[in-house]
Structure 1
Amino acid sequence: MSTARVRAAVVADAPEIARIQRVTWRTAYADLLGEQAIAALDESIEQHWAEAIAHPATTVYVATEGEFTVGFCVAGPAPEDEVANASGTLPEDADRTGLIATLLVEPRWGRRGHGGRLLADAARGLRQRGAERGISWVAESDSASLSFFRRAGWRPDGTVRTLDTGERRLRELRLTGQLDLELAG
């Protein structure tokens, strides 16, 4: 049996992270995002991930199983525009709120606990940086991701946003939850 782990990404992981994003978007999100958004994931996406990995305010985590990189997660302080209430005001804990910006597991590696391990490690890292709660944005029609976060105790907080992918409008719910996550045996 292969060993599953989560570790902080290094710049050399950028090509695999980009590959996972391309595969996952094509497999799981094509209907939500549209072909235009999928096609926009060209080779420059690797540079984007290399820059994200090197950014001092965020941590990119990768999930591995044996020798394979199977998923990734990006976590860091929540920017004011991400944590603000619908009215634009900041909650009292804005400076103690972390953001799970992305959490993707390649579909063929799903249902093996990689997402839970990524979220737990990202939550631990956010707590170490002083965050007390987390937020993440999830497409309203992405029932698998919504169920995943609900199992972790995260719930919609009533704030929504609409993104324009170029050919579709994607409505997202902001989820919030505690960062004291523990994996069940």
Structure 2
Amino acid sequence: MADAEVRDAVPSDAAEIARIQLTTWRTAYTELLPAEVLDGLDSAAAEQEWQQALTGGPATVLVATEGSWVVGFCAAGPAPEPEVAAANGSLPPDADAVVLVSALLVEPRWGRRGHGGRLLGEMAQRFAGTGAARGIAWVPEADTASMAFFRSAGWAPDGTVRTLDAGGRPLRELRLSGPLELQFKNS
């Protein structure tokens, strides 16, 4: 494997992040999302959204590289209250110390090479250094690859579920939660 690393994303990465997002969704989510939703994904709009995220925050965005290629990305930031709240709306005692991993994707052709672990590990380390103690991520229940990845990092469903409207089809997501001191285990 060529040199692999994780670095801060810069505005010029927006197009590649958008391409990876759309490619990964169209590859990995064909069973989860209706074809018309996947076909309707707009690369220009996605690039513009990533450009805004990279220049205006509030998320921290990292990219994984292998050689000269950007192969994946992770976006995270302090978890907004609605994301960390229990189903009844109550906030946990550590609500101010929770990080939301809003996106973590590695392009499928670069998968199973440690990029996801490096991205999550670097993000966790950065936020732990600011006093954060726990991370959360919403993952489609049927996305077994992402579920296995987060479980290998020590994260597990915390009992909170949400259902999104995915083009007229319900998409059930589980909230996973875990420590920022990651210890990856083979799954």
Asked if TM exceeds 0.5, the reply is yes
Amino acid paired to 1:20: I
2:94 matched residue in structure 1: 93
Rounded to whole Å, the distance in 1 between the matches of 2:26 and 2:116 is 19
> Using a 3 Å threshold, how does the CA distance of structure 1 residues 137 and 14 change in structure 2: closer, same or farther?
same
Aligned length: 184
Contact 1:63 1:72 (8 Å CA) reproduced: yes
Amino acid paired to 1:116: G
Rounded to whole Å, the distance in 2 between the matches of 1:67 and 1:132 is 33
Deviation, 1:47, is 0.5
Aligned residues with identical type, % of pairs: 60
1:32 matched residue in structure 2: 32
Deviation, 1:183, is 6.2
Secondary structure of residue in 1 paired with 2:74? strand
**1:30-87 deviation line (CA, Å, top 9, x unaligned):** 2212123223321111010011112343111100000111000001000111000010
Rounded to whole Å, the distance in 2 between the matches of 1:85 and 1:10 is 34
Question: Runs in 1 of length 4+ with deviation above 4 angstroms?
Answer: none
Contact 1:138 1:172 (8 Å CA) reproduced: yes
Q: Residue 105 in 1 paired to residue 106 in 2?
A: yes
Amino acid paired to 2:20: I
TM-score (norm 2): 0.94
Rounded to whole Å, the distance in 2 between the matches of 1:37 and 1:121 is 32
Deviation, 1:166, is 1.4
Rounded to whole Å, the distance in 1 between the matches of 2:161 and 2:130 is 26
Deviation, 1:167, is 2.9
Deviation, 1:168, is 1.4
Q: How does 1:56-135 map to 2 (within 5 A)?
A: 56-135=57-136
| Bigger Cα displacement from structure 2, 48-57 vs 172-181 | 48-57
Deviation, 1:158, is 0.2
> Using a 3 Å threshold, how does the CA distance of structure 1 residues 46 and 88 change in structure 2: closer, same or farther?
same
RMSD (Å) for aligned C-alpha atoms: 1.3
Q: How does 1:164-175 map to 2 (within 5 A)?
A: 164-175=165-176
| Bigger Cα displacement from structure 2, 82-91 vs 36-45 | 36-45
